[in-house]
Structure 1
Amino acid sequence: MYSQLSNEEKMLVNSEVANNKKSVGVSYLLWFFLSSLGIHRMYLGRKGSGITLLVLSVLGWITLAFFIGWIFLLVVGVWVLVDAFLLPGIVKKANDDLTEEYAKKALAGRA
């Protein structure tokens, strides 16, 4: 899709992506401080999995007194640990999707 654009359109798309791209550094900061709430995933456009992580955390803390909460919190802990290694790839995918979105808009603007 991106390769079909003229040089002028590519410059416009690159400008828009540069203004709106996601940062690996910001993602890691959100992961470090708010990972159990799923904020880092929501920042990267993965709202569904971010909300799931948030719900698991809340359920874990609420049911901790019944000892079932440990299971939820264990799942959250493993998920957060795995996310530490997946974040660069998720950021790249989010930025690639952003490029494709702006390229589609530029191609639609031709007509």
Structure 2
Amino acid sequence: MAVSTEQQILIEQRVTNEAKSIGASYLLWFFVGYLGGHRFYLGRKGSAIAMMLLSIFGVILSVVGIGFILLIVVGVWALVDAFLIPGMVAEQKNKVRNDLLQQAMLSAN
């Protein structure tokens, strides 16, 4: 069963309110991107933890000289993320929208 136009408008309002912000994502990327802060914000906890651990081990192991490789990897990853953030935000918005649509369809039945 399809949702009504009124429900669709309410869903889009909630998506706008509940979805993550591109601006906030870029601020987190700029200030704590090497620790995966933007990924935590966007709900990608697994890759955020991996990024954080690579950064921490990179700093610790840089005393020995090996850690610089890890820090370069994290730097490249963070640079690539700068281009992926809009897609990650759009994906998160679609997830919120789909969840709300499912709730609306279940409550209509």
Where in structure 2 are the equivalents of 1:35-74 lying within 5 Å?
Answer: 35-74=33-72
Residues 46-79 of structure 1 show CA distances to partners (whole Å, capped at 9, x for unaligned) of 1111111111101111111121111111110000
5+ long unaligned stretches in structure 2: none
Residues 4-44 of structure 1 show CA distances to partners (whole Å, capped at 9, x for unaligned) of 32112212211211211111111111111110010101111
In 1, the alpha carbon distance for the partners of 2:5 and 2:15 equals 15
5+ long unaligned stretches in structure 1: none
Where in structure 2 are the equivalents of 1:19-98 lying within 5 Å?
Answer: 19-98=17-96
Aligned-CA RMSD value = 1.4
TM-score (norm 2): 0.92
Moved over 6 A (4+): none
Hey, what does 1:4 align to over in structure 2?
2
Would you say how many aligned residue pairs link Structure 1 and Structure 2?
Answer: 109
